[in-house]
């Protein structure tokens, strides 16, 4: 029997899921969580650096997703300084770093899909 099928439900941090894939998608799914994790895979970044690397994400969404990733233990938030301007850096935790091979595989699959079936654009066409 496959590990992911060994029970009817799984539980993590007080939350139940129908399977391990559902748990994984809750932690990294959605439009931005995996993208944020991907941008943190090579080291710590400040909020403003993440915004520059992901210009189409809103400030509110980025902030909410970072908080959720921190709550789930995938990202750490380090505050330096006590008076403004304080410096806040985000980094993958050891637990979050275990997702790097998954993120790289997803990226490789996406790159190959675009090479085979799509195109890379310099900007989004509004037509």
Range of the domain at 37: 6-117
CA proximity to 35, closest of 78, 77, 72, 65: 65
Domain count, the chain: 1
Q: Is residue 91 part of a domain?
A: yes
Residue 124 placed within a domain: no
Average pLDDT over residues 106-112: 96
The Cα–Cα gap between 56 and 53 comes to 9
Does residue 122 sit within a domain?
no
Q: How many residues does the chain have?
A: 127
1: in domain: no
Question: Where is pLDDT greater, at 84 or 96?
Answer: 96
Mean pLDDT of 73-89: 92
Please enumerate in sequence order all residues whose Cβ is within 8 A of that of 57, keeping only pairs 6 or more positions apart, or say none: 32, 35, 51, 65
Residue 124 has pLDDT above 80, yes or no: no
118: its two tokens: 């799509």
pTM value is: 0.87
Distance CA 57, CA 64 (A): 11
In a domain, 127, yes or no: no
């Amino acid at each position: 029997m496959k590990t992911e099928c060994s029970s009817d439900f799984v539980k993590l941090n007080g939350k139940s899921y129908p399977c391990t894939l559902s748990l994984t998608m809750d932690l990294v799914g959605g439009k931005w969580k995996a993208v944020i994790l991907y941008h943190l895979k090579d080291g710590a970044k400040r909020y403003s650096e993440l915004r520059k690397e992901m210009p189409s994400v809103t400030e509110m969404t980025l902030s909410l997703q970072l908080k959720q990733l921190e709550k789930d233990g995938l990202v750490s938030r380090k505050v330096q300084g006590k008076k403004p301007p304080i410096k806040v850096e985000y980094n993958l935790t050891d637990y979050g770093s275990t997702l790097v091979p998954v993120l790289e595989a997803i990226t490789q699959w996406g790159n190959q899909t675009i090479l085979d079936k799509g195109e890379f654009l310099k900007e989004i066409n509004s037509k």
